[in-house]
């Protein structure tokens, strides 16, 4: 699985958009980009995933660059409850490929 | 609430002992995953079962074993415990063997003294 690089921490003002970047320059053609988050010590929570098109759901938007070497997770109106560690993961669909969680980005939403 | 349950929530035991962690997946999910989260190693995939069969193995030690029962609940057995095994152990479940969304339980916090 391709390796991802994320900033260790970010701050965001409550009510503003939070833009979390992720670099995955070695991503291959059949690998998807996934985002999960972990609030405090709770179990991680799925947010969104995509292959090459931008994706949006009720939680967030995922913007993947045309060359697929980086992506950005956007939380449109961050709230205090969005304070968490956000993990960007790249995974393919071949047998044996599972989620590999890196250190992630610790997002602090400030009042 | 993800629908995945794990018991116990907390477990304190001594080095050399053996413990069993239990996981009940969401209703209808056939796949169960086990993860270990320690301070120095982060969140690591251990093993996956799908409909009773081992599907994938990650960084699981030989002292650790798991199984999935016919009712789809799963148990993770940890033996000859060491101080370094102290961690949060998460179970996750999904409908298929290769699902995009895994639903994580609240975890079991294991402390080895």
| DSSP per-residue codes, A49-85 | EESSS-EE-SS-EEEE-TTSSEEEEEETT--GGG-EE
> Rounded distance, CA B47 to CA B74, Å?
11
**Parallel/antiparallel/unpaired status of strands A9-13 and A105-110:** parallel
A41/B56 Cβ within 8 A: no
Residue A2: per-residue pLDDT: 62
B45/A98 Cβ within 8 A: yes
Q: What Cα–Cα distance (Å) separates residue A1 from each residue in A24, A34, A40? A: 10, 12, 26
Q: In Å, how far from its chain's centre is CA B102?
A: 13
- Chain B residues with CB under 8 Å of A49 CB are 100
Residue A92: per-residue pLDDT: 83
> Rounded distance, CA B52 to CA A100, Å?
23
Residue A53: per-residue pLDDT: 86
Give the DSSP letter of residue B113. Answer: -
**B87 three-state secondary structure:** strand
- Averaged pLDDT, B5-10: 98
Q: Are B46 and B66 in contact, with CB atoms under 8 Å apart?
A: yes
Residue A95: per-residue pLDDT: 61
B107/A98 Cβ within 8 A: no
Residue B97: per-residue pLDDT: 84
Instruction: Give the closest-approach CA distance of A100 to chain B in angstroms.
Output: 7
B48/A98 Cβ within 8 A: yes
> Rounded distance, CA A101 to CA B52, Å?
25
pLDDT bracket for residue A1 (50, 70, 90):
low
Helical (H) or strand (E) element with B31: strand B31-38
CA within 13 Å, CB half, A55: 16
**B 51-110 residues with CB < 8 A to A:** 56, 58, 88, 90, 92, 98, 100-107, 109
For residue range A43-68, list pLDDT tens digits in order.
999 999 999 989 999 999 999 999 99
Using a CB–CB cutoff of 8 Å, tell me whether A29 touches chain B: no
Residue B70: per-residue pLDDT: 96
Residue B40: per-residue pLDDT: 79
pLDDT bracket for residue B53 (50, 70, 90):
very high
Residue A41: per-residue pLDDT: 87
- Averaged pLDDT, B6-33: 97
Residue A74: per-residue pLDDT: 98
> Rounded distance, CA A99 to CA A38, Å?
14
- Averaged pLDDT, B39-50: 90
Which candidate, B71, B69, B74, B10, places its Cα nearest to that of B46? Answer: B74
Share of chain B above pLDDT 90, in %: 89
A96/B106 Cβ within 8 A: no
């Amino acid at each position: 699985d391709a390796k991802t690089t994320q900033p260790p921490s970010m701050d965001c003002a409550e009510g503003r958009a939070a833009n979390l970047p992720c670099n995955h320059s070695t991503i291959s053609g059949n690998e998807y980009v996934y985002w999960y988050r972990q609030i405090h010590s709770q179990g991680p929570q799925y947010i969104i995933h995509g292959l090459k098109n931008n994706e949006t759901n009720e939680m967030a938007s995922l913007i993947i660059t045309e060359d697929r070497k980086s992506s950005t997770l956007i939380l449109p109106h961050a709230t205090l409850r969005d304070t968490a560690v956000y993990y960007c993961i790249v995974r393919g669909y071949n047998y044996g490929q599972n989620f590999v969680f890196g250190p992630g980005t610790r997002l602090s939403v400030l009042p | 609430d993800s629908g995945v349950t794990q018991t116990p929530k907390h477990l304190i035991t001594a080095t050399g002992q053996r413990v069993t962690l239990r996981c009940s997946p969401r209703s209808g999910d056939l796949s169960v995953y086990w993860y270990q989260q320690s301070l120095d190693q982060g969140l690591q995939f251990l093993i996956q079962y799908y409909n009773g069969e081992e599907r994938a193995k990650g960084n699981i030690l030989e002292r650790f074993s798991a199984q999935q029962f016919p009712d789809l609940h799963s148990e993770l057995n940890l033996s000859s415990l060491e101080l370094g095994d102290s961690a949060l152990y998460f179970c996750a479940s999904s409908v298929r063997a290769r699902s995009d969304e895994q639903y994580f339980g609240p975890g079991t916090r294991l402390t080895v003294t």
